[in-house]
Homo-oligomer: A and B are copies of this chain.
Amino acid sequence: MFETPMTVVGRIITDPRRRIVGDQEVISFRVASNSRRRTAEGAWEPGNTLYITVNCWGKLVTGVGAGLYKGASVIAVGTVHTSEYEDREGAKRSSLEMRATAVGPDLARVIARIEQRPQPHSTDSPDAEDPGQDADAVNAGADTDPEADAEALALSA
C-alpha cells in the first residue's frame, strides 16, 4: 500500500517549533480544522474538529519559518500517519502526524503577498524528495496546455 495523502485547511494553534533532527531542520506546528454542517432545515451548525501535527522538512523550512505563525489560517498538504509516544506520566498516547509537501496561507481568510522565490542555490537542507523546480519551468508552459485557448476560461466557469 501507499502513504495516505491528506489536505487540511485550518488554523495554526501552537507556536511553530524549529529543531534539528539528524542533520536536517524541521518546523512543526499543530493545526485545528473546524467543520460545520448544514442541517436539514438549511442552517449551519458547528461540527467536529480535526487536530493534526504538521511537520515541514527541506524546502518548506524557509518558507514556513518566514511566513507563518500561531493563529494563521493555513492549507497543509502531505501524507499522514499515526505516531505513538509516552506522555509525562508514561502513558501511551497517539497523535496524527503529517509530513507536509506543500503549505501556504489560506487566501480565503488572509491577505498574503509573494515576496520572492527561494534562491536557486539555497543553503537550505536539501529536499530529498524533490529534484527542484527547474523541470516545472520547462514543462509548465502554456503552449503544452491542451485547453489554453480563450474559450476554456470564458465558457467553463
Contacts and interface: CB of A to CB of B under 8 A. Distances in A.
Interface of A: 1-11, 13-14, 17, 19, 21, 26, 28-30, 32-44, 46-51, 53, 55, 58-60, 62-64, 66-68, 72-75, 77, 79-89, 91-97, 101-118, 127-131, 133, 135-136, 139-142, 144-149, 151-153, 155-157
Contacts of A87: 149, 151
Given A32-B145, A63-B107, A109-B117, A7 B140 contact: no
Contacts of A26: 157
B14 A9 contact: no
A136 B1 contact: yes
Q: How many copies does the complex hold?
A: 4
A82 B48 contact: yes
Given A1-B34, A26-B157, A149-B88, A41 B40 contact: no
B109 A116 contact: no
27 contacts: A3-B37, A3-B48, A4-B6, A5-B7, A9-B101, A13-B140, A13-B145, A14-B142, A21-B157, A28-B153, A30-B148, A30-B152, A35-B79, A48-B82, A51-B82, A51-B145, A63-B106, A66-B107, A66-B111, A67-B107, A85-B151, A91-B91, A93-B147, A93-B152, A102-B108, A103-B106, A105-B105
